[in-house]
Structure 1
Amino acid sequence: MNNDCEIIEVRAEELKRRAEEFRCGDKILLTGTVYTSRDAAHKRFMKMLDDGEKLPFELENAVIYYAGPTPAPEGKPIGSCGPTTSGRMDRFAPRLLDLGLGGMIGKGERCKEVRDAIVRNKAVYLCAVGGAGALACNCIKSCEVIAFEDLGCESVKRLYVEKFPLIVADDCFGGDIFSQGRAKYAQV
């Protein structure tokens, strides 16, 4: 686990290609396109894949942000946009990773199957600060609903983020900030 203060700037489109550079605990400033998606949208993704349909965005090297943003106040592209609990997407994530998903952003621990899929596919799981959605929205420069508008805040949105502060929680070498953090704390 990285304990220094270095902050790594990375483009979202390069996250998977650069995954081997990151270790759990690394601090990232992410810039580029990410897609919001939560439980209901993930269920629809699975049905689309089962039916042989294309997803609403190219999955290869994409980054999904587990978030359901609030409506945009006047003059802003988006309202509060904090992470939701990632574990709710654990049953869907391995399949998406196996199909090329490059990274995920959320909060909280992931199950073993997801961590294994991250390693197998050389991807990365990043954590955003929970409870700071009003601050996170300042990093979001544009927002466009691209699928499932009927889901309201849970529709799939294409966001453009600039210098979105994140922490590598699960790296492609099996590093997991949650288990490593607990082990380190137990030693004290």
Structure 2
Amino acid sequence: MAHYDLKTQDLKAFAPKLRAGDTVTLTGTLYTARDAAHKRIVAAMDEGQALPFDLDGAAVYYAGPTPEKPGQVIGSVGPTTSGRMDPYSPRLLDAGLTCMIGKGVRSQAVADAMARNGAVYMVAIGGAGAVKAESVKALDVIAYEDLGCESVKRLTVEGFTAIVAMDSVGGNLYRDGAAQYRTE
């Protein structure tokens, strides 16, 4: 296991080299999107409409930030359960999405799409949304404003930390990490 300081624009080239258990500190652009936004993005793809952001090389953080308080850029911005995005993720990965950040296990279909595309799934610690907010330096709502906290936002981050939970060569902390503690 290694630690990497990466710029998000370098993730497309670097993601295939990351391995489950590596820690990463990201600087650059993350997009927030949850299941309602994913549904709309896939519908836009189906209809040939413009997408809210370029999927090629993009990193999506599964989060719905709370409103900021005076003097803050963003409120608490903790991860949400990633499995809710599983029906949409393979399609987005096949369209160029490189990095997903959330919490919890992912389906085999997502793992297969990650392998096909050299993508990576990272986890952020649930319950630490206020700490994550400290790494957000700018926020712009870029699509689906009617979804409120679940709108698509472009975040500019510095020092955003995450752990690689699943890599593009089959490494999976949820499977392999638990296996080392089984006694049967």
The aligned residue for residue 31 of structure 2 is: 35
The aligned residue for residue 122 of structure 1 is: 118
The aligned residue for residue 105 of structure 1 is: 101
Is residue 96 from structure 1 mapped to residue 69 from structure 2 by the alignment?
A: no
User: Gaps (5+ residues) in structure 1?
Assistant: none
Report deviation, 1:135.
Answer: 0.7
Given that 2:122 and 2:162 are in contact with CA atoms closer than 8 Å, whether structure 1 keeps it comes out as yes
Paired letter, 2:176? Q
Q: RMSD over aligned Cα, in angstroms?
A: 1.1
Report deviation, 1:7.
Answer: 2.2
Is residue 169 from structure 1 mapped to residue 168 from structure 2 by the alignment?
A: no
Report deviation, 1:64.
Answer: 0.5
Report deviation, 1:21.
Answer: 2.0
1:134-181 per-position Cα deviation (integer Å, ceiling 9, x unaligned)? 110001100000001111000000001111110001111110110001
1:55-75 per-position Cα deviation (integer Å, ceiling 9, x unaligned)? 110110000100000011111
Given that 1:16 and 1:124 are in contact with CA atoms closer than 8 Å, whether structure 2 keeps it comes out as no
CA distance in 2, matches of 1:126, 1:13: 16
Task: Please report the TM-score for the alignment, with normalisation by the length of structure 2.
Answer: 0.97
Query: In structure 2, the residue corresponding to 1:169 is in which secondary structure?
Result: strand
CA distance in 2, matches of 1:95, 1:22: 22
Report deviation, 1:20.
Answer: 2.5
The aligned residue for residue 22 of structure 2 is: 26
The aligned residue for residue 73 of structure 1 is: 69
User: Gaps (5+ residues) in structure 2?
Assistant: none
Deviation larger for 151-160 or 8-17: 8-17
1:158 to 154, 158, 161: 154
Query: In structure 2, the residue corresponding to 1:116 is in which secondary structure?
Result: helix
Task: Please report the TM-score for the alignment, with normalisation by the length of structure 1.
Answer: 0.95
Given that 1:36 and 1:155 are in contact with CA atoms closer than 8 Å, whether structure 2 keeps it comes out as yes
1:89-133 per-position Cα deviation (integer Å, ceiling 9, x unaligned)? 000000000000011000011010001111110010010000100
The aligned residue for residue 179 of structure 2 is: 183
CA distance in 2, matches of 1:181, 1:152: 36
Is residue 44 from structure 1 mapped to residue 44 from structure 2 by the alignment?
A: no
| Percent of aligned pairs sharing the same letter | 54
The aligned residue for residue 133 of structure 2 is: 137
CA distance in 2, matches of 1:62, 1:99: 10
CA distance in 2, matches of 1:125, 1:14: 15
Q: Work out the number of aligned pairs and report it.
A: 184
CA distance in 1, matches of 2:168, 2:44: 28
Query: In structure 1, the residue corresponding to 2:13 is in which secondary structure?
Result: coil
